[in-house]
Amino acid sequence: MLALNGALADVIEASREAVTLDELAHGALDGLQRAFDCSLGCVTHCPQDGEIRILSCTNSTVLQEYRHHWFADDPINDAIRNYNESWIIPATRLPEWKTMQTHPLYAEWAPSKNVRFLLHLRLNHTRYLQAGATNVFLCRSKQGPDFGHREILALSQVLPDLETAVRRCERVAAMNALSPFLDALLADADGRARLALRADGQLIWVSRAARRMLAGHLGRGRSLPAALIEKVRRFAAGDDRAPEFRFVATDATRISATLQIALSGTGELFVAIGLRPTSGGLPDEFRERFRLTGAESDVLSDLAEGLSNAQIAERRMVSVATVRTHVGHVLSKLAVRSRLQAGVLARAAM
């Protein structure tokens, strides 16, 4: 194994410290340039298929000219994209290299910019110019030699650190994209029992109130009720459009869940769920006769017990204003004038 010189040691250090692709690009490119005596270098990322973003480069004027005049017709694009024998690709080893040398880009323009030999480094499994691809291009002048075996061997020693750094940066980017979604849930939670699951049913966020309500389902070796997870998967897939779901917690508490589709900053689909305990005192036929929602049925059951709006809000973990709204709907649907009359009807049905 080759001993890594100071420049490549700097590349590894930058790889281990970076938390964003921009930090990785700026931190690693300088060391790569110094280690291999490059005349030009750049780090790129593809946000979506066919697009390319320059994260870092050593000569922005040359890169801008290349992107404007040559990038779309550069024959190396397809050659690298179709090459799968190695993640470290010297252009001279490409089967198309001899033909490429006759292209005006490599025969005239590149030599005029002090560029002769080119090496491509792939930093993740995604192919070049496909969404998510991260790559390094290193160029040497026409006065220097091509990239040789010892240099490729040295690059193979730092490549694992660069790959690991890219995966870490991608995870951080995904979490940052998710933050606005979670922040919105937190801002709206206001002490309410809420949680969020991925479309596959994986739990990603839970409020304190929901954690208390689901204490028997959360923690090491435990999971949410299988029926709830299946409901989330079907709801996310569009196979089940009913937004309400009821289940029984481990402490025998009957819980009503209200589901809602949400999207993260990257467009990933999630299911946000609001939870509330249900008394379950009203018969199904009574609820269906007056077309009461689950929340309205719960509030009516509380009215039958003689609870005030504040007491209902505390029990249901919602605001007093929300309770007032539900009470208004209940009075309207039951065609009564007071909460006392509503409570009397509810008790008669129980």
Q: Per-residue pLDDT tens for 121-135?
A: 999 888 888 889 999
What's this model's pTM, rounded to 2 decimal places? 0.54
Tens of pLDDT, residue by residue over 134-186, are 999 999 987 888 998 888 898 998 999 999 999 988 887 876 666 666 666 66
Q: What is the pLDDT of residue 275?
A: 86
What is d(CA 120, CA 43) in angstroms, rounded to the nearest whole number?
10
What is d(CA 106, CA 73) in angstroms, rounded to the nearest whole number?
12
Q: In this structure, what is the dihedral angle of CA atoms 204, 205, 211, 217, given to the nearest 10 degrees?
A: -10
Contact call for residues 280 and 203 (beta carbons, < 8 A): no
What is the chain's mean pLDDT, rounded?
85
Q: What is the pLDDT of residue 144?
A: 84
Contact call for residues 63 and 162 (beta carbons, < 8 A): no
Domains and CATH numbers, the chain: 6-173 (3.30.450.40), 190-277 (3.30.450.20), 278-350 (1.10.10.10)
Nearest to 151 by CA among 9, 8, 15, 43: 8
Q: What is the pLDDT of residue 161?
A: 93
Contact call for residues 301 and 281 (beta carbons, < 8 A): yes
What is d(CA 178, CA 172) in angstroms, rounded to the nearest whole number?
10
What angle in degrees, to the nearest 10, is found between the helix axes of 339-349 and 294-304?
100
- Is residue 93 exposed (0-12), middle (13-18) or buried (19+ Cβ within 10 Å)? middle
Least confident segment among 227-231, 234-238, 318-322: 318-322
Q: What is the pLDDT of residue 1?
A: 38
**Ordered alpha helix ranges (H), 18-122:** 21-36, 60-69, 76-81, 97-100, 104, 110-112
What is d(CA 150, CA 148) in angstroms, rounded to the nearest whole number?
6
Confidence bin at 302 (pLDDT 50/70/90): confident
Look-up of token digits 């050659």: 79
The winner for highest mean pLDDT among 204-218, 224-238, 288-302, 309-323 is 224-238
Q: What is the pLDDT of residue 2?
A: 44
- Is residue 151 exposed (0-12), middle (13-18) or buried (19+ Cβ within 10 Å)? buried
What is d(CA 29, CA 58) in angstroms, rounded to the nearest whole number?
8
Phi-psi region of 71 (alpha: psi -120 to 50; beta: other; left: phi over 0): alpha
Nearest to 163 by CA among 3, 49, 21: 21
145-154: Cβ within 8 A, 24+ apart: 145/117, 146/90, 146/92, 146/117, 147/36, 147/90, 147/117, 147/119, 150/2, 151/36, 152/88, 152/90, 153/2, 154/2, 154/4, 154/8, 154/35
Query: DSSP 3-state assignment of 168?
Result: helix
